[in-house]
Amino acid sequence: MEVLWIDNKPSYFVIAEKPEYHCWLAHVFYETKLKNIIFTPSEECQEIKFVTKEEAETMNILPNVVAFLKQYTF
């Protein structure tokens, strides 16, 4: 992906516990503009698709994503 612009300030700051590793994760999200969304997934990628917030809330997702969805507004 080619990034055309990144905002100067974060849009979201999310922390979430990862109990199986006995640690906390912090994620900082910035609004960006991309030239396109064409990319090649890595081997760790199981599936790629766009979903709504409501669809994501029904999926088996990681704790950090659950924490992000609690803050996400669009």
pLDDT tens digit at each of 74 positions of the chain: 789 999 999 999 999 998 888 999 999 999 999 999 887 888 888 888 889 999 999 999 888 888 999 988 76
Task: Please check whether residue 37 is in contact with residue 2, taking contact to mean a CB–CB distance below 8 angstroms.
Answer: no
Element (H, E) at 71: helix 63-71
Q: Residue 41: what pLDDT? A: 85
Q: Which residues, 6 or more positions from 59, have their beta carbon under 8 angstroms from its beta carbon?
A: 51
Q: At 38, list the tokens.
A: 């064409």
Q: At 66, list the tokens.
A: 């659950």
Q: Which residues, 6 or more positions from 56, have their beta carbon under 8 angstroms from its beta carbon?
A: 65, 69
